Structure 1
Amino acid sequence: MTPEQVAASYDRLAERWLDLSAYGFAPVERAVAFVKRKSAALDVGCGTGRLMGLLRTHGFATDGIDVSPAMIALARDRHPDARLFHADICGWELPRSYDLIVAWDSVWHVPLVQQAAVLAKLCRGLAAGGVFVFTTGGPDGPEERRDSHMGPPMYHATLGIPKTLHALAEAGCVVRHLEYDQYPEAHVYLIAQKSESGQPGVYDRVRLRPVEAGDLPRMYELQMDPDSNRMAVTIPRSRDAFDSHWAKALGDPVNTTRAVLLAGQMVGYISCFPMDGEDHVGYWIDRAYWGMGIASRALHLLLAEVTKRPLVATAATSNGASLRVLQKCGFVVEEVRHSPATDRYPECEEAVLVLR
């Protein structure tokens, strides 16, 4: 199910959440105890605003976001002075940093492929020392489920505990509490806290090194991922085409090709190469590590190594994540054009960005 379909299901259920149940209050109170500066809070999947009243009693000015327009309308009735946003957390950019972010029974509706990115985004949205409390499923590995227990169809997903803990750690957060609060049901809530320095741990753990022959099987595997190709609007190379391309690329000293490492593990690759009389840059990051700032850091490191300018990059206009990475590193959109289909790229609208 898409977030829009989840929203439609919640629209049909919105009136059920007008009760004053204290469900989830005790875990949120536990999280509040870790917060040193009780100023701004964000309730992700705020629904009708049930938890916002609790946060107000602790002195927080609380923003709310929900994908369901019916839920947001009821929350506005309950909290007319609050800042409320009708939006999908997957694409929404946080307007400020927060001392506390609550996502009670909400982010588990995010599509599995986007879960790590959303967790990383919310961790980035914490102020230094800020606290994030949220619920998820508690299996050992990733899972997706669809059901109709409440009537309308619903979707739930989880990275599983190991990958959830990894995502939080890479985003610079320490887990203060993890509890199966409805055991034997696999319902888990976690409290995580950002370091006082405010620096995400992943930033200083990204390294580049020259690509080696032994990296090629991993690179081939990465470029075959269907979701990555949909995002980048690309067509994966066949094995023969891949081997031929990289044999030529790695044998040409004019190319700068680097493996992207996170804590010593290869999670992608990035390169600078001549094409059509211009110097281009491109990168590919393992989908499991999207949304953690790895691409931005890798590009920053490459630009420190490759000092020639101008540099050119292209990205499908639908690929907002890559456009943000490039613009964050100083690239400016200078042209938007139609790109015809080739054996490597589907037809699309393409942005040309230049770093001068």
Structure 2
Amino acid sequence: MSPRQGPTLRELCVQALSSVEHGYDLLAPKFDHTPFRTPDSILRATTDALAELGPFERGLDVCCGTGAGMVVLRSLCQRSTGVDFSAGMLDRARDAHREATWVRADARALPFAGGFDLAVTFGAMGHFLPAERPALFEGVYRALRPGGLFAFPVGTLPPPTSVAYWGTLGFDVAMRVRNAVWRPPFVMYYRTNQRPAVLSDLTTAGFSASTVALPDGGISYQLVLARKPVTPARSS
């Protein structure tokens, strides 16, 4: 990713002072040249891990952005669909992956029912407050067929002695201050989606959830694997 092609500091500031939807509309043309795009190494590692759990016919990329997750779905699924609420991001994704189907919708109210074998999401969990996760997970649960799989990578919290620990803490504090004094809010936090809470919410939504290690160049990631039961344990 070339910084020359990425957004300027002024553009990032304008984006950060916008709503999440409008901010990503603005960022879309240069998003693939920012550090916010999921690294190819994570996409490859996810593909390798999921390849052993298939086969999958239809795949869904939730909060697809510019379509990075399509690299994973294209390798594993016969048909793929991406959903996002940013029209700008969907335009970029459509240009890059014309073979896929694209739907504009809020991930907290997904318009699908029982049609997908595999759902993935990359880099989007920080955009959902803990109180919003149940709606997200319940929507994905509905979108999957019985026995379908929901998978996404999550980073483990770095140790307090690391620069990353204080960097993510500082970012989250800055975002909380920004959202306390500026409207509309821009929801993006690194520390609100820790693994125990995420797994608990997935279980409440009806999934059988676990994690596997997903190494990436020394940074510790876990791949969350949430399976919808063939025979639901609760009414959906």
1:108 maps to 2:133: no
TM-score by length of 2: 0.67
Q: Counterparts of 1:146-161 in structure 2 under 5 Å?
A: 155-156=188-189, 158-161=192-195
CA 137–24 in structure 1, closer or farther in 2 if over 3 Å, else same: closer
Aligned to 2:24: 10
**Identity within the alignment, %:** 25
Q: Counterparts of 1:148-297 in structure 2 under 5 Å?
A: 155-156=188-189, 158-179=192-213, 181=215, 188-197=222-231, 199=232, 201-203=233-235
Q: Which runs of 5+ in 2 are unaligned?
A: 1-17, 158-168, 176-185
1:145 maps to 2:172: yes
**Alpha-carbon separation, structure 1, partners of 2:153 and 2:21:** 18
**Alpha-carbon separation, structure 2, partners of 1:189 and 1:56:** 19
C-alpha displacement of 1:188: 4.3
Aligned to 1:127: 145
Determine which structure has the larger helix proportion and give its number.
Answer: 2
Equivalent residue letter for 2:226: A
Higher relative contact order, structure no. (Cα contacts within 8 Å, ≥ 6 residues apart): 2
Q: Deviations over 1:132-153 (max 9, x none)?
A: 11234656xxx993657xxxx6
TM-score by length of 1: 0.46
Aligned to 1:327: none
Aligned to 1:27: 46
**Alpha-carbon separation, structure 2, partners of 1:161 and 1:131:** 17
- C-alpha contact (below 8 Å) 1:103/1:134 kept by paired residues: yes
CA 195–96 in structure 1, closer or farther in 2 if over 3 Å, else same: closer
Aligned residues: 192
C-alpha displacement of 1:99: 0.5
The 4+ residue runs of structure 1 with deviation greater than 4 A are: 136-139, 180-188
Q: Which runs of 5+ in 1 are unaligned?
A: 204-292, 294-356
Aligned to 1:99: 117
- C-alpha contact (below 8 Å) 2:46/2:214 kept by paired residues: no
Larger radius of gyration: 1
Determine which structure has the larger strand proportion and give its number.
Answer: 1
Aligned to 2:136: 118
**Alpha-carbon separation, structure 1, partners of 2:28 and 2:195:** 30
- C-alpha contact (below 8 Å) 2:209/2:225 kept by paired residues: yes
